[in-house]
Amino acid sequence: MGGEAAAGRWYDAANATFTTLVDSKHTVSSVFQFINVPMGVWIDEHGRVVRPAEPAWAATRTDVYGGKPLAIEGEAYVAALRDWVTNGDKSVYVLSDEEFASRVKRRSPAEMEAEASFKLGVWFQQSGNAALAAKYFERAQTLNPDDWNYHRQEWSFTPADAGKKWLEKFKQFDKEYYPKLELKPKGEM
Amino acid sequence: MQRRDFLRIAGAASLAPAADARAEAATPSPAATVLYDDRAVVLDRIGIDPTHSSDTLWIRKRDLPRVNGFELKPQGACRADLCIPIPKAMTRGDYFNITAFAKKAGQPVVAEPDARVWSFGEMQALGGGLASSRVAPDFEVPDRLGRPVHLAGFRGKKALVITWASW
């Protein structure tokens, strides 16, 4: 199960009044280089990206999985977002071009190949060829092991094992699970 | 928060057995399916590679624009302001070696020749996306009713684009 069948009830429960999409091909993640969920970008009235990909939680808490903490910072994120909505370009959370450039990196050749592999896996999955889908999902994961969306998508097809697989990778992962949320430009406290 | 001035777009990163993909899969024996910018372009005829390389894809020149937006001109393969010179060996009669072109343009290609599917990744020659420009690339993703939504349609409003998954 996927797409609207999987996501629809969550939109209904949230009584969503905003535009809701069903991104079965991971188009949005691909365009903005999201590597986990939830992640978000801010875009101004002129179509200019104000802040590139970063964790987009609405709550702040620390969970512990397998003895390993996972901290999320939502309250500060939402406060920053409200500041931008109110103050627009004058908001301190609008990144300068220099700061923006320092936070966005070009995909490496391996990351670009991973993306092409993942898209091939998605196509095979949607065409009913689970074996070839698995082959290219695995290739994408090998080429870019830091992209949790590649793993998460594959695990969603075996929901009974998904939590176990996630926990196993999470415990072994020696990098930050989410990119660090740096709300203010560097140099400002 | 001034809601009327603020728009949030949420994308559900979950995989659906999309109707369009099923329809494409049901198309009787296409010569090749090319995945490009999230589009699946079905080609009913492709060329034979003279070296019999199974990964190499020769497409009809006239199919090039609908595959990747490029068209062949005297100065090379062109898309908007970009023209990439192409060697003679990249064309053969009515056909164009699109995998060789991808290599020249710094674009990864992942192929499953037995299934006749080629997946093209990001093209370096077109720039580095957000790494070279802050302009948000447009995209098209369906809403819950399957209606296409374009990011460009939200110009004039602030937008927060968030993806999440249901587990």
Q: Which residues contact A165 (CB under 8 A, 6 or more apart)?
A: A151, A155, A158
The beta-carbon neighbor of A116 closest among B1, B120, B159 is B120
Among B1, B103, B110, the residue to mutate for chain A (most A Cβ within 10 A): B110
Cα separation of B108 and B77, whole Å? 17
Q: Do A86 and B2 lie within an 8 Å CB cutoff? A: yes
Residue with tokens 């100065």: B75
Give the ranges where chain A is alpha helix by DSSP (H): 3-14, 27-32, 75-87, 97-103, 109-126, 130-143, 148-155, 159-172
Q: Do B16 and A29 lie within an 8 Å CB cutoff? A: no
Cβ pairs A/B, distance under 8 A: 244
| pTM of the complete model | 0.86
The beta-carbon neighbor of A127 closest among B7, B25, B120 is B25
The beta-carbon neighbor of B149 closest among A3, A21, A52 is A21
Cα separation of B77 and B73, whole Å? 6
Which residues of A fall within a CB distance of 8 Å from B130?
32-33, 49, 52, 104
Q: Per-residue pLDDT tens for A82-140?
A: 999 999 999 999 999 999 999 998 899 999 999 999 999 999 999 999 999 999 999 99
Per-residue pLDDT, averaged over B53-63, amounts to: 96
Q: Per-residue pLDDT tens for B99-145?
A: 999 999 999 999 999 999 999 999 987 876 787 789 999 999 999 99
Give the pLDDT confidence score for residue B18 in this predicted structure.
Answer: 42
User: A20 pairs with which residues across the strands?
Assistant: B10
Q: Is the pLDDT of residue B23 over 80?
A: no
Cα separation of A81 and A93, whole Å? 8
Give the pLDDT confidence score for residue B9 in this predicted structure.
Answer: 53
